[in-house]
Structure 1
Amino acid sequence: MATTLLPIAPGRNQTFTCTLPVDNKNITLNFSLTYNSPGGYWFMSISDHETGEMLIDSLPVLPGEYPSANLLGQYSYLGIGSAVLISASGDNSMPTFDSLGREHLIAWGDNF
């Protein structure tokens, strides 16, 4: 199983395109990561790079423990893989505006 870290730059809202290996094929997705300052959390929107179709809009990027750790669990029917928020400190803390992409990473892998 291949796992890829999303190329997130710490401390800023951002959009980027990333090609990810999922289930022995490559998929290219557009990402938008935005920090909700009043709520104190990040959210992510994902669209298909080829068609521009919005696949997931405003998904909260929250820590979780198995089996709820997979951010994309409820979207498994899309076949775009699995994503898990990882804390470098090993705890289950919330990513802050400055820590996502530095102390908190999003790992993307095969469907499970």
Structure 2
Amino acid sequence: MAITYLPITPGMNQSFTCTLPVDDKNITLDFTLTYNEPAGYWFMSIRKNDTGVLLIDALPLLNGEYPSANLLKQYSYLAIGSAVIISKSGKDSTPTFDSLGREHFVAWGDTP
């Protein structure tokens, strides 16, 4: 199983396209990451790159403990893989505006 980290730039709302190895094939997805300042957390929207179809809208990037650590668990029927938040410190903490892409990373892997 290959693990890929999303190419996130710290401290800014952003959109990017990323090709990810998932379940022995490559998929290309468009991502939009937005910081919700009043609530203090990031959220992510995901579209299919080839069609522009919105797959997931406003998914909160919040840490969870196993088995709820997989952000995409409830979307396994989409077969777009799994995603977890990894912290450099090893602590379960929510990514802040400045820490996502610097101290916290989104790791992508195969569909469970």
Q: Any stretches of 5+ residues in structure 1 without a counterpart?
A: none
Identity %: 73
1:43 maps to 43
Distance 2:89 2:55 in 1: 31
Q: CA deviation at 1:68?
A: 0.2
Matched length: 112
2:97 maps to 97
Matched to 1:99, the amino acid is: S
Distance 1:94 1:26 in 2: 29
2:63 maps to 63
Matched to 1:54, the amino acid is: L
Query: What whole-Å deviation, never above 9, does each CA across 1:31-82 have from its counterpart, x for those lacking one?
Result: 0000000000000000000000000000000001110000000000000000
Q: Any stretches of 5+ residues in structure 2 without a counterpart?
A: none
Secondary structure, in 3 states, of the residue corresponding to 2:31? strand
The answer to whether structure 1 residue 79 and structure 2 residue 79 are counterparts is yes
Q: CA deviation at 1:9?
A: 0.2
**TM-score after normalising by structure 2:** 0.99
Distance 2:94 2:55 in 1: 24
Structure 1: which 4+ aligned runs deviate by more than 4 Å? none
2:10 maps to 10
1:29 maps to 29
**TM-score after normalising by structure 1:** 0.99
Q: CA deviation at 1:96?
A: 0.4
Distance 1:93 1:84 in 2: 12
Secondary structure, in 3 states, of the residue corresponding to 2:85? strand
